[in-house]
Structure 1
Amino acid sequence: MIDDASTDTLTYIDGRAGRLRLNRPKALHALNLPMVRQMTQALLEWQDDPSVRLVIIDHAEGRGFCAGGDVVTIAKSAQGHGAAGQAFFFQEYRLNHLMYTYAKPGVVFMDGITMGGGVGIACPCRYRVATERTIFAMPETTIGLFPDVGGGRYLSRLRGRVAQYLALTGARIDGADCVALGLANFYIPSKRLDALKAQLCREPEKAESLLAGEAVAPPPSQIAEVLPLIDRLFASDEYEEILAALRADGGDWAKQQLDILAKKSPTACKVSLRMLVESPRQPHFLDEMRMEFGIVTRMFRHGDFYEGVRALLIDKDNAPRWNPATPEAVTPAMVDSFFEPLPPREAWTPHPIDGDE
Structure 2
Amino acid sequence: MTESEVLFEVRGTLGVITLNRPRAVNALTGSMASAMLDTLRAWADDPAIDQVLVRGAGERGLCAGGDIVAIHRDIAAGGTQTEEFWATEYRLNSLINAYPKPYIAYMDGLVLGGGVGISAHGSHRLVTTRTRSGMPETTIGFVPDVGGTFLLSRSPGESGTHAALTGEHLGAAEVLYLGLADHLIDFNRAEELFTALQTQPVNEVLADFVLAPPTSQLEAWQGWLDAAYAGTEVEDIVSALEVLAAEGNQEAKTAVETLAKKSPTALKLTLASLRRAKGMTTLEEVLEQEYRVGLRALDSSDFPEGIRAQVIDKDYAPAWNPATLGEVDASVLEASFASLGERELKLNPRALSDAAE
The TM-score with structure 2 as length reference comes to: 0.94
1:59 corresponding residue in structure 2: 56
Question: Match of 1:240, as an amino acid?
Answer: E
Residue number in structure 2 paired with 1:197: 194
The equivalent of 2:298 in structure 1 is 300
Match of 1:156 in 2: 153
Give the aligned partner of residue 276 of structure 2.
Answer: 278
Match for 2:337 among 339, 342, 346? Answer: 339
SS at the partner of 2:10? strand
- Per-residue Cα deviation, 1:158-209 (whole angstroms, up to 9, x for no partner): 11001110110012211122223332211111011101011011112xx123
Aligned partner (choices 303, 307, 310) of residue 309 of structure 1: 307
Counterpart in the other structure of 2:86: 89
Which residue of the other structure, out of 68, 72, 75, is the alignment partner of 1:75?
72
| Cα distance between partner residues in 2 of 1:53 and 1:316 | 44
Give the secondary structure class of the aligned counterpart of 1:136. strand
Whether 1:33 and 2:26 are equivalent positions in the alignment is: no
Counterpart of 1:225 in structure 2: which amino acid?
A
Q: 1:1-357, aligned counterparts within 5 Å?
A: 7-204=4-201, 207-249=202-244, 250=246, 251=248, 252-344=250-342, 346-350=343-347, 354=351
Shift of 1:353: 6.4
Whole-angstrom CA distance in 2 between matches of 1:254 and 1:243: 9
C-alpha contact 2:97 2:123 (8 A) present in aligned 1: no
Distance in 2 of aligned mates of 1:279 and 1:54: 30
The 8 Å contact of residues 152 and 275 in structure 1, kept in 2 or not, is answered as: yes
Count residues with an aligned counterpart: 350
Kindly state the Cα deviation for residue 63 of structure 1 after the two structures are TM-superposed.
1.1
Q: Distance in 1 between matches of 2:179 and 2:260?
A: 29
- Tell me the CA shift for residue 140 of structure 1: 0.1
Determine the C-alpha separation between the residues in 2 that align with 1:164 and 1:280: 11
What SS does structure 1 have at the residue aligned with 2:198?
Answer: helix
Residue 53 (structure 1) shift: 0.8
Q: Secondary structure at the match of 1:19?
A: strand
AA of the residue aligned to 1:40: L
Once the 2 structures are TM-superposed, how far is the Cα of residue 62 of structure 1 from its aligned partner? 2.9
Unaligned 5+ runs, structure 2: none
Instruction: Give the TM-score normalised by structure 1.
Output: 0.94
Assess if the C-alpha contact under 8 Å between 2:25 and 2:64 holds in 1. Answer: yes
Give the Cα separation in 1 of the matches to 2:190 and 2:268. 40
Q: Specify whether residues 33 and 190 from structure 1 end up closer, same or farther in structure 2 by C-alpha distance, changes over 3 A only.
A: same
Q: Secondary structure at the match of 1:202?
A: coil
Could you tell me how far apart the structure 2 residues matched to 1:43 and 1:22 are? 14
Q: RMSD of the alignment, in Å?
A: 1.8
Deviation at 1:351, TM superposition (A): 6.9
Closer/same/farther in 2, CA of residues 23 and 75 from structure 1, 3 Å limit: same
Contact 1:66 1:113 in 2 (8 A): yes
String of CA shifts for 1:212-248, please: whole Å, max 9, x gaps.
Answer: 1211113322322222221122121210101111122
Q: Which amino acid aligns with 1:85?
A: T
Please give the alpha-carbon distance, in whole angstroms, between the structure 1 residues aligned to 2:204 and 2:176: 17
Contact 2:63 2:110 in 1 (8 A): yes
Moved more, 225-234 or 44-53: 225-234
Displacement of 1:352: 9.7
Which residue identity does 2:346 align to in structure 1?
Answer: T
Between the aligned partners of 2:139 and 2:236, the Cα distance in structure 1 is 20
Distance of 1:321 and 1:199 partners within structure 2: 51
AA in 2 matched with 1:313: V
